[in-house]
Chain A
Amino acid sequence: MENYDVAIIGAGMSGIAAGIRLAHFGKKVCIFERHYAPGGLNSFYFKEGRKYDVGLHAMTNFVKPGVKRAPLNRILRQLRISREELNLSEQLGSRVAFPGRNLRFNNEFGLLESEVEREFRSEMDGFRKLVETIQAFNDREFNYRYQSAREVVRRCITDVVLEDMIFCPLMYYGSSTEDDMDFGQFVVMFKSIFFEGFARPQEGIRNIIKLLLLRYKEAGGIRRMKTGVASFKIEKGRVDRLILDSGEEVQADIVLSSVGLPETYSLCSEKIVSETDIKAGRLSFAETITIFKDQPSSFNWGNDTIVFFNNRDRFAYREARDPVDLTSGVICIPNNFDYGETNLTEGIVRVTCLANYETWKMYTEEE
């Protein structure tokens, strides 16, 4: 029977990154991935001669090299990935688009500040107070109680439209719960999107995954692809071994799962978790990718990189009743990053909206 110091379930970015650190420290690690492709929710695939990125619109947390204590620089250092290898291009600029109101923002926070002043002059003091609150918050503290982000924001901001416009990008990019989010998570997302910013490797997500896999391999890590974990064998309240889809058993001293809490709980063959713990979240999303022969700059849509839009009076980040809820969402144009001389060869437009899971689950592949 195979035996490892650490078994990691899922070859997405978090699984591979964990593998790199562990392998680097001399641990015998194996990553088990059910799919044939790495990347998980941020993966890529080929179809009819084209490469498509799945999930990721852009990388958040963009800062210039050398910015101290910035999460991006820290993680690149810990994973031994250099800026040159990553080859990031910055966004041209993005926008939150609500009925009659626009807030533009880019990788310099000053733009958002001037936009808030333009659109919501009377809220400027409150907005600055919110920014100070965010800067003062210790977002590395893991053991702290849930705080409603809406409540904290409302102590500073009185205009509900501004409130919703701030929450819109943060929710689409960082919240799995309806309507509200934990303030700690709000701070992490506010910093990563508004204080820091967006960037993208020109070759897309596959560049990041390629680098992660290369570092993992160089560190001596092992991967088993097309190898799903069916269940855990539990002894005395701990995971004793993995049982693979094939029936093969694998032993590991430690198991790290990146497949999410509900799925991880469902791998436990004994009832060591209650039914209520296993339930999944209420939010699902549908994404479309459209390819054009022409560059989007010729469409006269402006050169927004990402648009977070809402067409209703109140922004509702909630389970979709319709198959796809078109009243809000995210539009991303990967061509609108600062690539320098050569842009992407074709025009690409990605749209992500909230979707109704049960409806889609019932569709056949043709439907």
Chain B
Amino acid sequence: MTKDECKQVVLDIIAEIAPDEELSDVKPEVALREQLDLDSMDFLDIVMELRKKHGIEVPEGEYGNLVSLESCAEYLTPKFDALV
């Protein structure tokens, strides 16, 4: 999986959790919570969808890696590759 594909996976999950959010202009380096109206419950839902849909586990101590699309891609791409 490429980092861009990984970013799209995360955006798809956010689209499902928060269908009312405008996602076309999300900047990858900026914190998601600064661009979108997401709270900690929403991030729990993102973690849940990663587990349910993609079999990826994110331990609680590592939630900080999901702060931006860029950091998500850095953190999750190796996890996706490890599943194959």
Contact = CB atoms under 8 A, between A and B. Distances in A.
A66 B20 contact: yes
A327 B5 CA distance: 66
B37 A78 contact: no
B37 A26 contact: no
A82 B39 CA distance: 18
A68 interface: yes
Given A68-B37, A69-B37, A77 B17 contact: yes
B42 interface: yes
Contacts of B42: 77
Interface in B21-63: 37, 39, 41-42, 44-45, 48, 51-52
Nearest to A67: B37
B37 A24 contact: no
A68 B20 CA distance: 10
A26 B19 CA distance: 22
B20 A74 contact: no
A100 interface: no
B20 A24 contact: no
Contacts of A24: 45, 48
Contacts, number: 22
Contacts of A77: 17-18, 20, 42
Interface string A311-338: 0000000000000000000000000000
A25 B48 contact: yes
Contact of A74 (B19, B39, B52): B39
Interface in A37-75: 65-66, 68-69, 73-74
A78 B16 CA distance: 11
Grouping DSSP codes into helix (H, G, I), strand (E, B) and loop, the A interface class, with mixed when no group exceeds half, is loop
- Between B37, B39, B48, B51, the greatest number of chain A beta carbons within 10 A of the residue's beta carbon is seen for B37
Nearest to B48: A25
The bracket for how many chain A residues form the interface is 10 to 19
Nearest to B16: A80
A65 B18 CA distance: 12
A18 to B, nearest CB: 13
Given A77-B17, A77-B18, A26 B41 contact: no
A68 B19 CA distance: 13
A123 B39 CA distance: 38
Contacts of B51: 26
B48 A74 contact: no
B52 A26 contact: yes
B32 to A, nearest CB: 14
A26 B47 CA distance: 12
B63 to A, nearest CB: 15
A78 B52 contact: no
A78 B41 contact: yes
A69 B17 CA distance: 15
Interface of B: 17-20, 37, 39, 41-42, 44-45, 48, 51-52
12 contacts: A24-B45, A24-B48, A26-B51, A68-B37, A69-B37, A74-B41, A77-B17, A77-B18, A77-B42, A78-B41, A78-B45, A82-B19
Closest A-B pairs by Cβ, 4 of them: A68-B37, A25-B48, A78-B41, A66-B20
Given A69-B37, A74-B39, 14 more contacts: A24-B45, A24-B48, A25-B44, A25-B48, A26-B48, A26-B52, A66-B20, A68-B37, A69-B39, A77-B17, A77-B20, A77-B42, A78-B41, A82-B19
